[in-house]
Amino acid sequence: MSIDKMNRPQFAKGVIPGILLALAFAAFLPQSLQAAEEKNLDYSVIEKIPVFHEDRAKPLDTFARETMRLVAGREKWRNPKEGDDRLKREPMTNLLSMLFEADEWRDIPVIHIDKANVKEILGMDGKAEWITYEGLKNNPGFKSVIEDIRKKHRESEDGKPKLTPVERKVSDLNGVLNRMDSVFYGTAFTVVPVEHNGVPGWLSLQEMADSGQDEELRTQLAGLMTSFQQGDKTEFLRSSKDLARNLREKGHDHYPSMGILEKEITYNEMKPFRISWEFLLVAAILFGVSMGIASRITYFGGWAMFLIGFGFAGYGLLLRVMVAGRPPVSNMYESVVYMGWGVLLFAGIFEAVYRQRIFGLCGSVMGIIVLIMADMLPFDPEISPLVPVLRSNYWLIIHVMTIVISYSAFALAMVIAHFSLGYYLFAPHKRSLIRTINSFVYRSIQLGVLLLAAGTILGGVWANESWGRFWGWDPKETWAFISLMGYLALLHARFAGLVGAFGTAVGSILGFQLILMTWYGVNFVLAAGLHSYGFGAGGSGYIITYLAIEGVFLALVAFRYKVLGPELQKALDDEVQAKKEKKTKGTVAGEPSTT
């Protein structure tokens, strides 16, 4: 949002001047913000009313959830600590309250601040997490940083100034104020479909009120507001139905289909990726138990939980595809959950073929990690329209989806390698199992290299079509090439005998760091190049923590291998040689006599 949107009057003129009488009446009512929750209002109709926001029509339910995530950090807080009790309520309740009872939201602590350096600028106590709308808008430190950001925008040649991490967070907070302003004033609710010279468009509630037209619509909104404030369930539902019917009649053929709106609400309410990792957690436990006691019941129970988890992950992706009308790989959040689904796909296929339990276990573990990570890291989960360069479902499918699913194969190889190295650390005597696991690492890397090479070549073809050159050493292209060369070098070293099973496992973990740089680092650290549509900020603390843990783990494994490596490798080689000799003797013994 534009920084200049901060320059607005402090108090709204009123969303709809035609309902001032209803506002005056409501002011004398004893109930207030808690009424909607206590009266258990039915949002089943109003939540499906589409609002045109950020270049796409979305259900009001989605807009309410996005608004609360932006303002309070979550859709709903169970225990907001210092935050206001309103945060415990449903997002739709809070959105309508912000619209119909705007003044009551200006001085309550609902804006979440979680960064210490931002708190310092705002002069907040280090333990405090919440600030009010007025407290943030009139904060001297906030105003000073905003002015610095404006100055950088004015001085920037391309309109994209380099901001410090603190400035980016303050700019995000300015976006929070802009969103709250737009809800208070009614400008965010672009719900009134219009057509001008045959071109469809949308009006906000404020624009509709300023035009002085459509008295019926104004009356319906007044009834909706009054019934909301009174907690009148029957009247609220009736007003919602009247309003929804009126808006749909005005929209004609340009209005979104009810089926798509309902699918998006189903996605919002179900949270399929969360359900997926919960089933995968059970699957991981059962697969792990089956490895220890070789039980068919636990093994097939693990399979059942794995398939259910895989199904919910796939269903979540399918819903996003149906709502957005494109493949689910247009932003970092979508690529993460798609990569997690790919891990489950490959793990399921390998487990079905080899029946070794290790694929089911490792796939479940990696699926859990990835799907939880998608919720924890600062990735935007919103379903957004594609930027112009990505508006080709054909290339999204054959290039981006191929590249990202190659990451799935590498991630599977990486997590299997951790299990292999874990046995080196704690159970080096299980030589047969170590050898089997290492062979699976090798197979997963081969699959990943094939997909990554194909995706990289296809990306060059797309770049030639979009930008007029096949290859330009853009940071994304450069790191994709480095990743491919790194894994190819590992495969060749293994094939030539330069590294053994242990080296392949270590190389798989190190190689995945190249993937992280290509996938995350270019977008969130370098933030440069033609692939600007994928850029973001944040999450570096998680990555640094992961790299530190990985470094300690590899150091321990290297030390252990230095002590036991020669002995263990000799034992493995002797076992392989013994099997070869046994096989050779069996063949010779079974040959027909030539005499």
Which is higher by pLDDT, 407 or 459?
Answer: 407
Query: Would the pLDDT of 98 be above 80?
Result: yes
- The residue among 405 and 427 whose pLDDT is bigger is 405
CA distance 379 to 538: 9
pLDDT tens digit string along 38-93?
447 999 999 999 999 888 899 999 999 999 999 998 898 877 767 778 888 999 99
Phi and psi, residue 536, nearest 5° = -165, -165
Closest CA to 344 of 302, 395, 387: 302
Residue 29: pLDDT band by 50, 70, 90 thresholds? very low
Q: Is the dihedral of CA 313, 316, 320, 322 positive or negative?
A: positive
Higher pLDDT, 74 or 158: 74
**61 near 118, Cβ under 8 Å?**
no
User: What confidence category does residue 592 fall into, taking pLDDT thresholds of 50, 70 and 90?
Assistant: very low
Least confident of 104-108, 280-284, 534-538, 546-550: 534-538
Per-residue confidence (pLDDT) for residue 405, from 0 to 100? 93
- Higher local confidence (pLDDT), 274 or 206: 274
Domain segments of the chain as ranges: 3-7+32-258, 271-385, 396-574
- CATH number for 271-385 (one of 1.20.120, 1.20.140, 1.10.3470, 1.10.10): it is 1.20.120
Average pLDDT, rounded, for the chain: 82
Average confidence (pLDDT) over 242-263: 86
Q: What are phi and psi of 101, to 5 degrees?
A: -135, 50
Mean pLDDT, residues 352-366 taken together: 91
Of 529, 527, 514, 517, residue with least CA distance to 473: 529
What pairs with residue 194 in β-bridges? 201
What CA–CA distances, in Å, run from 285 to 17, 291, 292, 305, 471? 60, 10, 11, 10, 46
Taking the model in full, what pTM does it have? 0.81
Q: Which pLDDT does position 426 carry in this prediction?
A: 76
Q: What is the percent of the chain with per-residue pLDDT over 90, rounded to a whole number?
A: 42
